[in-house]
């Protein structure tokens, strides 16, 4: 799609939105929270989101930014659609999690299409962590949810260090990763019973590693 065609589409959408707002302000549209208007807004958000998504797909070099508003608008359209279908009631936690996850995925798409934008890993990881926290908060106590948040943030900075970029390793990311991991571990220690299970699993895994790892020294002696 040419840039001029995209501008024409957005010009039409903005004019229609402006007319709708004027009609609403003057009381011509009735109750905008009605079922019919929810359908209108869902379609409007979906159309705008698809326009941004198409902009990104047709010009991933110059319009990488379009992935972000595209995911936000499509996420809003999804939430409205689920609400219209009666699936939102009592499911606010996982719906919020899905919405945050969609926005987070847009930053990962930006990173994987533009490795020089290593910074996108940070908001991408933070938003996916918040999506997980929003979901886990319905099942676990505050200490566990807090530790999940810190571990997710630590994993995010760990990925900043591990994932390839044109600028080499981001060694500075190991510092916040280590600090956040320690904070998560310290918070998790408040749950003594869970922590004891974790230590048991860690000790078993380390023991298995020591038993099963290749014995290079012994092999050299026999050779």
Is residue 102 one of the residues assigned to a domain? no
Give pLDDT tens digits for 190-202.
Answer: 665 566 666 667 6
| 147 & 193 share domain | yes
Is residue 137 one of the residues assigned to a domain? yes
Give pLDDT tens digits for 137-191.
Answer: 777 766 778 888 999 999 999 999 999 888 888 899 999 999 998 888 877 776 6
pTM of this prediction?
0.72
Is residue 100 one of the residues assigned to a domain? no
What letter does residue 189 receive in the DSSP assignment?
T
Q: The tokens 């990962």 sit on which residue?
A: 108
| 67 & 4 share domain | yes
Q: Categorize the per-residue pLDDT at 219 as very low, low, confident or very high, splitting at 50, 70 and 90.
A: very low
CB count in 10 Å sphere of residue 164 = 9
| 192 & 131 share domain | yes
Is residue 35 one of the residues assigned to a domain? yes
Tokens of 167: 């600028």
| 35 & 79 share domain | yes
Q: What percent of the chain has pLDDT over 70?
A: 70
Residues 6+ apart with CB under 8 A from 56: 63, 64, 66, 67, 70, 109
What letter does residue 170 receive in the DSSP assignment?
-
| 24 & 73 share domain | yes
| 3 & 74 share domain | yes
Is residue 80 one of the residues assigned to a domain? yes
Contact 160, 118 (CB under 8 A): yes
| 82 & 153 share domain | no
How many helices, marked H, and strands, marked E, lie in the chain?
A: 9, 0
Tokens of 170: 């981001």
Q: Which residue has the higher pLDDT, 155 or 25?
A: 155
Residues 6+ apart with CB under 8 A from 110: 64, 67, 68, 117, 120, 124
Total domain count, the chain: 2
Domain residues for the domain of 38 are: 1-89
Is residue 141 one of the residues assigned to a domain? yes
Q: Categorize the per-residue pLDDT at 8 as very low, low, confident or very high, splitting at 50, 70 and 90.
A: low
| 134 & 189 share domain | yes
Range among 20-29, 102-111, 128-137 rated most confident: 102-111
| 57 & 129 share domain | no
**Residue 2 φ/ψ region, left for φ over 0, alpha for ψ in the -120 to 50 degree band, beta for the rest:** beta
| 58 & 121 share domain | no
3 state DSSP class of 91: coil
Is residue 71 one of the residues assigned to a domain? yes
């Amino acid at each position: 799609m040419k840039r001029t065609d995209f501008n024409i589409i957005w010009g039409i959408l903005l004019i229609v939105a402006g007319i709708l707002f004027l009609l609403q302000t003057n009381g011509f549209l009735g109750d905008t929270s009605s079922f019919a208007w929810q359908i209108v807004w869902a379609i409007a958000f979906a159309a705008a989101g698809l326009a941004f998504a198409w902009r990104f797909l047709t010009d991933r070099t110059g319009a990488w930014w379009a992935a972000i508003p595209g995911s936000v608008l499509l996420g809003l359209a999804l939430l409205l659609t689920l609400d219209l279908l009666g699936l939102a009631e009592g499911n606010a936690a996982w719906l919020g999690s899905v919405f945050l996850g969609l926005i987070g995925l847009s930053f990962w798409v930006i990173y994987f299409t533009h490795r020089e934008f290593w910074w996108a890993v940070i908001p991408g990881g933070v938003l996916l962590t918040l999506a997980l926290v929003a979901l886990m908060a319905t099942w676990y106590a505050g200490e566990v949810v807090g530790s999940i948040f810190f571990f997710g943030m630590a994993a995010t900075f760990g990925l900043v260090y591990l994932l390839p970029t044109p600028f080499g390793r981001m060694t500075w990311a190991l510092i916040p990763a280590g600090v956040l991991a320690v904070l998560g571990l310290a918070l998790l220690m408040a749950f003594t019973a869970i922590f004891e299970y974790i230590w048991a699993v860690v000790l078993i895994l380390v023991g298995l590693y020591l038993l099963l790892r290749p014995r290079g020294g012994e092999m050299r002696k026999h050779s």
